[in-house]
Structure 1
Amino acid sequence: MPEYGCFLSSEQYGPADLVEQARMAEQAGFQALWISDHYHPWNSAQGQSPFVWSVIGALSEAVSLPVETAVTCPTVRIHPAVVAQAVATSAVMTEGRFRLGVGTGEALNEHILGDRWPPAPVRLEMLEEAVQVIRRLLTGEQVNHHGPHYTVENARLYTVPEEPVPIDVSGFGPKATALAARIGDGYITMTPDEEMVTRFRKGGGGAKLVSGGTKVCYGHDRESCVRTVHELWYNERLPGEAAQVLPTPRHFEQLKPLVTEDMAERSVVCGDDAEQHVAALARFADAGFDRVYVNQIGADQRGFFDFYRTKVLPRLP
């Protein structure tokens, strides 16, 4: 049966709030933590974007739950050799409870240094090479690497974990899912799509960890919850490749009229009907997921954790 975790939103909350939410998640009975890795929020209404590696350091002291980035793009904004050092230190500080989630990223976060934002096939090539570099460095050996996308010279990490850090690969289409099956220690995707889970497992993923995440908006006033979802997370309903290629929060805000409140309502469970929350998470279990992470969009975080502790988590498969 799946484990259920809490998804911490670095786009919506500052570091102190994220740490406090992690504490409440552990007390409520959640079994793991995801935390997003962004340079910008998706839009100005979300309003935050702390440096994820600093927050993970604080989480290592505040809670005993496993922690995973969902997800880090180790290809453009930060060189994979630097990501490897951050990963190694995080794994040591959490005493082996850290997993690295990786993906091909978005221009929103990765173009900030003026580098070219490459097309999707090139981003997949870069991600595969970056994972190779990170894995080699995490062994503590001295690494020299001269690949098509990255150069590493005489690099060695001296602070490394005792055990290898699992690296899970995010995928939302057939090519990325195939890459996850081939190189990942696990697979991350954000919809309860049984076909993609099957594709991963049959493509070489086998029994490796499959993780997914979903957003909810808990609150007593359902209509207010719908408005909150539409105001803060309309970006998730934008069509096509917009999420991968738009460069600033302002560009996402310009497309907000494309997303109606009805569209937002259909995509996120809103309100305090426990049956609806249980059903949304059960869809991931039915699709074959091993872990499911929940992100509360609304401001009532304490109410959300109490609600899940008493009325949702005890009823999940």
Structure 2
Amino acid sequence: LAHGHSGDPAYDNVVLHVVWEEDTPILRAGGERIPCLTLKDRTPPGLLEAYQRLEQERSWVPCQPSIGKAPEIVRLNWLDRLAVERLEQKNAAIEEALRATGNHWEEAFYRSLARAFGLKVNAEPFEALARSLPLLTLARHKNDPVQLEALLFGQAGLLDEPCEEEYPQMLAREYRFLKHKYGLASLPASQWKFLRLRPANFPTIRLAQFAALVHRSAHLLSCVLDARNIRELEHLFSATPGEYWNTHYRFGHPSTRREKVPGRDFIRLLIINTVVPFLFHYGKVKSQEQYQKRALALLEELPAERNSMIENWQAMGIKARNAAHSQALIQLKTMYCTPRRCLECAIGTALLKQENS
């Protein structure tokens, strides 16, 4: 009645009207009453009260006071399902990258990996740089680390400022030649963020490491597909920049000597956030289940991520045993707990059943 459907012939095919409490009968156009299922009398009072407590709870997650009561087997099975769900959710971004590159898997992976190198702060400029500088162009110069750095730093706009040191001057000369050769247009240097970053995360260092990675192999996705274990992937991504960067974090600013090999935590983030989703989606699209299994095995082999969200879960007694669990807990918090989808959560429904038993 409230929606004006009573008496509408289009609704004569309705076989059952489901409501919480029936206040007014619903009739077909011919006056026949539509059968009605009332839920209020069929819902145990304890179940409703338990759900209302979840809805009213203002803790970090709605079930925080009682989550420890959920059976461990329920929690573990749910985390396994959520780890897969999170990978499937990431398929959309990979599909978009594939569409943008004409279904070119290597180029799409290159762009996604570049974005990951920027971490959260410089993800956008890193991806913009990769879009403006095709992998094929870099691949033509993969055997010359100086030209690779010239292309990447020049396209990034980071060679525009005059510098008295010989190495950046050489890069600038190389870039001017390559820019003209390929008809490139550099990005504004102002988009790169250095403020409040640890020097090891400066975009200059990440760009130098990215250049070293391409120097090691321009067929990055192929290397990932061929890698048999974590150790081989960690070796691939541990490419070390040239000598200049051992004594610099930025052009023209000498620093204490330190080799700028990518850290293990950084490499593992690359594997978790880029390598694993691509492996999983590649296996799905190509109907090669071994890649999907390998993606999940990599997550199970890697240690759990360390961040504030995982620490909050741990404080509640929910410990992530590996990266598959930490990814699952991120999915649980963002996609179920925060939007309060307790009735769609295996832990939430298990707790509600306990309350009503």
Query: Normalising by structure 2, what TM-score?
Result: 0.30
Query: Normalising by structure 1, what TM-score?
Result: 0.32
Q: Compare the two structures and name the one with the higher strand fraction.
A: 1
